[in-house]
Amino acid sequence: MQPMIIILKEGTDSSQGKSQIISNISACQAVAEAIRTTLGPRGMDKLIVDNRGKATISNDGATILKLLEIIHPAARTLVDIAKSQDAEVGDGTTSVVLLTVEILKNTKTFIEDGMHPTIIIRAIRKATALATKKVKEIAVYVKSDDAKEHRALLEKCAQTTLSSKLIARQREFFSKMVVDAVLMLDELLPLNMIGIKKVTGGSLEESRIVDGVAFKKTFSYAGFEMQHKKFLKPKIALLNIELELKAERDNAEIRLDNVAEYQKIVDAEWSILYDKLEKLHAAGVNVVLSKLPIGDVATQYFADRDMFCAGRVQEDDLKRTQKACGGAIITTVENLNEQSQQVMGTCEIFEESQIGSERYNFFTGCPKAKTATMILRGGAEQFIDEVERSLHDAIMIVRRAVKNDSIVAGGGAIEMALSRTLRDYSRTVPGKEQLIIAAYAKAFEVIPRQLCENAGFDATNILNKLRQKHAENHMWFGVDIMHEDVSDNFTAAVWEPAVVKINAITAASEAACLILSVDETIKVPKSSAEPSNAAKAMNMA
Ligand code: ADP
Ligand code: MG
């Protein structure tokens, strides 16, 4: 008799083979169903309530998938590619998931028929290389010599991104703002130099952009209202020092046996604080910002000397101020004097002003780094949150387009063009590969089809028209959302940067191959040190 060999511990769940691949594909299909309807200008939004009761309204594939807390191991791959698309190019997160799932769905029949996954994967890789090559080939390079033309290009790319969002109707307004913000940055276009601040109340059109740093007025003590609120070319000190009396008292335990000694300690505490304040004043500082609290004594002291102060400034705001205005964040004022200019920042104008019901500190005309702050207005909090996410997509797209000015037409046009090219190519290869490449080519049609379905159009009809146009070499024909028809989306200025599509195609294919190559999932049971549920139930623990 054969001896029984046990290699996995008891309770390990493993499933493998063909059925495992098919079940993974089905799980991915279920995920795609969740976000299918959000695609495109006529896509719907999702309202997701998390376990703490926080509601989020979003149209962004990556955001929705993140919030869904998917536990299926294979389906989590989709969450990861959506995230990576979001991080890499910012937009196209729904498209990438739909494309992956469609590739999987179309290849599912081959798996069911017993074709080996490696053959499928090889064919997909080949087709992907061809597709990305084709995108590069047909992408239109728009010269950036003409500043005006370049700006128009960027605005159109931003508008295409925004047209599928909640703020689609204000897309002209916001695309200008996004392009302004990105063009205010320096060459490397650092994302963290664009601050986005949200102030509830007011209308969307009251949102504005500030050429510099802005942040909400911090908590302040009595005396603050007497401070100067506007300076021209101020000296700005950025501190990581607490200017409050309680600090020293909290730091140590002291045992005393008479009142005189107590008084000495109180006096010492005051003189330490005054010493710091005097150093700041003597150095000619006008604006004091600190990450740590600034107490009432200090606030009053600054007020008496025509200085401005803000304590508890958030770290990223302080860092952005430092990068923009120069200087350094200092932890001691010991060596501060009028000569120590390099540790102090400056800007053209500092002022505090009112936005809606909130007060903001503005630093404009910053000499060092180029930075911009968007101040968003709008009704509900969830609404502004979604506006912020939408603008993030648009900012990323504009950054991409600045770096790389080749574009393709959206609205399914580029997908149809790729589908046609690959279908034509598939006819030239023999054997099984032909079938797989044709299935892959068909997968691209999911984007125009879903755009139609979400808009309530007859998808079959529109797709037939599109296939016919593309067969006649009108390669920029896509869905016309306005007129339930097809149109040349290049002239209609539905533009997307080519890199977005290239990234989406490679990411989708890689994810599909990954899922196809997994034929076994092994789930190890929780450590046996923990009592099992059954044991708990039987009170054996
Ligand atoms: P994603 O998360 O993939 O960016 P979106 O909901 O933003 O998903 O939808 C993007 C799709 O909508 C793209 O295929 C884009 O080409 C298309 N699209 C955007 N604006 C238009 C428009 N005005 N007409 C037709 N299609 C559009
Ligand atoms: Mg989008």
Do residue 283 and residue 341 come from a single domain?
yes
Do residue 501 and residue 430 come from a single domain?
yes
- The verdict on residue 419 lying in a domain is yes
Q: Letter for the amino acid at 273? A: L
Q: Which stretches does DSSP call E strand in 228-371?
A: 230-232, 236-239, 287-290, 308-310, 329-330, 349-355, 358-364
| Residues ≥6 apart with Cβ < 8 Å to 82 | 61, 62, 65, 66, 93, 94, 96, 97
**Residue of 159, 480, 494 to test ligand 1 pocket, by largest number of atoms within 8 Å of CB:** 494
Q: Is the distance from the beta carbon of residue 91 to the nearest atom of ligand 1 less than 6 Å?
A: yes
Å from CA of 296 to ligand 2 middle: 48
Q: Which of 187, 175, 185 is nearest to 151 (CA)?
A: 175
Q: For ligand 1, atom 25, name the residue with the nearest CA.
A: 411
Q: For ligand 1, atom 26, name the residue with the nearest CA.
A: 411
Q: Is the distance from the beta carbon of residue 479 to the nearest atom of ligand 1 less than 6 Å?
A: yes
- The verdict on residue 318 lying in a domain is yes
Q: For ligand 1, atom 27, name the residue with the nearest CA.
A: 411
Å from CA of 96 to ligand 2 middle: 11
Q: Is the distance from the beta carbon of residue 411 to the nearest atom of ligand 1 less than 6 Å?
A: yes
Do residue 222 and residue 354 come from a single domain?
yes
Give me the long-range contacts of 154-159 (CB less than 8 A, separation at least 24).
154/179, 154/182, 154/183, 154/398, 154/401, 154/402, 155/179, 156/493, 156/495, 157/397, 157/398, 157/401, 157/407, 157/495, 157/496, 157/497, 158/394, 158/397, 158/398, 159/493
Do residue 330 and residue 424 come from a single domain?
no
- The verdict on residue 400 lying in a domain is no
- pLDDT tens across the length of the chain (541 residues): 677 777 767 766 677 778 888 888 999 999 999 899 999 888 888 898 988 888 888 888 888 988 888 888 888 889 999 998 888 888 889 999 999 999 999 999 999 998 899 999 999 999 999 999 999 999 888 766 777 888 888 898 899 888 888 888 888 999 999 998 988 888 777 888 888 888 888 888 888 888 888 888 888 888 788 888 888 989 999 999 888 876 455 667 778 888 888 888 888 888 888 888 998 888 888 999 999 988 888 899 999 988 999 989 998 889 889 888 888 888 888 877 766 677 888 899 999 988 888 889 999 888 877 888 999 988 888 888 989 989 988 998 888 888 777 889 989 999 999 999 999 999 999 888 999 999 999 999 999 999 999 999 999 999 999 999 999 988 899 999 888 899 998 888 888 888 889 999 999 999 999 999 888 877 777 765 555 555 555 554 4
- The verdict on residue 422 lying in a domain is yes
* Ligand closest to CA 163: 1
- The verdict on residue 345 lying in a domain is yes
Provide the domain limits for residue 322.
Answer: 212-368
Do residue 415 and residue 360 come from a single domain?
no
Q: Is the distance from the beta carbon of residue 90 to the nearest atom of ligand 1 less than 6 Å?
A: no
- The verdict on residue 203 lying in a domain is no
Do residue 322 and residue 424 come from a single domain?
no
- The verdict on residue 507 lying in a domain is yes
Neighbours of 85 (CB within 10 A): 24
Q: Is the distance from the beta carbon of residue 503 to the nearest atom of ligand 1 less than 6 Å?
A: no
Do residue 231 and residue 309 come from a single domain?
yes
- The verdict on residue 188 lying in a domain is no
Instruction: Output the domain CATH number for residue 259.
Output: 3.50.7.10
Å from CA of 38 to ligand 1 middle: 10
Å from CA of 435 to ligand 2 middle: 31
Do residue 485 and residue 358 come from a single domain?
no
Task: Provide the pLDDT for residue 540.
Answer: 46
Task: Provide the pLDDT for residue 439.
Answer: 94
Do residue 362 and residue 413 come from a single domain?
no
Å from CA of 420 to ligand 1 middle: 20
What is the C-alpha separation between 492 and 156, in angstroms, rounded?
10
Q: Which of 162, 287, 181 is nearest to 236 (CA)?
A: 287
Q: For ligand 1, atom 1, name the residue with the nearest CA.
A: 92
Å from CA of 166 to ligand 2 middle: 11
Q: For ligand 1, atom 14, name the residue with the nearest CA.
A: 411
Q: For ligand 1, atom 3, name the residue with the nearest CA.
A: 92
**Residue of 451, 453, 476 to test ligand 1 pocket, by largest number of atoms within 8 Å of CB:** 451
* Ligand closest to CA 38: 1
Instruction: Output the domain CATH number for residue 505.
Output: 1.10.560.10
Task: Provide the pLDDT for residue 529.
Answer: 56
Q: Is the distance from the beta carbon of residue 451 to the nearest atom of ligand 1 less than 6 Å?
A: yes
Do residue 334 and residue 449 come from a single domain?
no
Do residue 340 and residue 287 come from a single domain?
yes
Å from CA of 451 to ligand 1 middle: 8
Q: Is the distance from the beta carbon of residue 160 to the nearest atom of ligand 1 less than 6 Å?
A: yes
Q: Which of 186, 162, 181, 182 is nearest to 172 (CA)?
A: 162
What is the C-alpha separation between 227 and 231, in angstroms, rounded?
11
Ligand 1 atom closest to 59 (CA): 6
Do residue 279 and residue 356 come from a single domain?
yes
Å from CA of 505 to ligand 1 middle: 15
Domain total of the chain? 2
Q: Is the distance from the beta carbon of residue 410 to the nearest atom of ligand 1 less than 6 Å?
A: yes
Q: In terms of residues, how long is the chain?
A: 541
Q: Is the distance from the beta carbon of residue 94 to the nearest atom of ligand 1 less than 6 Å?
A: yes
Ligand 1 atom closest to 161 (CA): 7
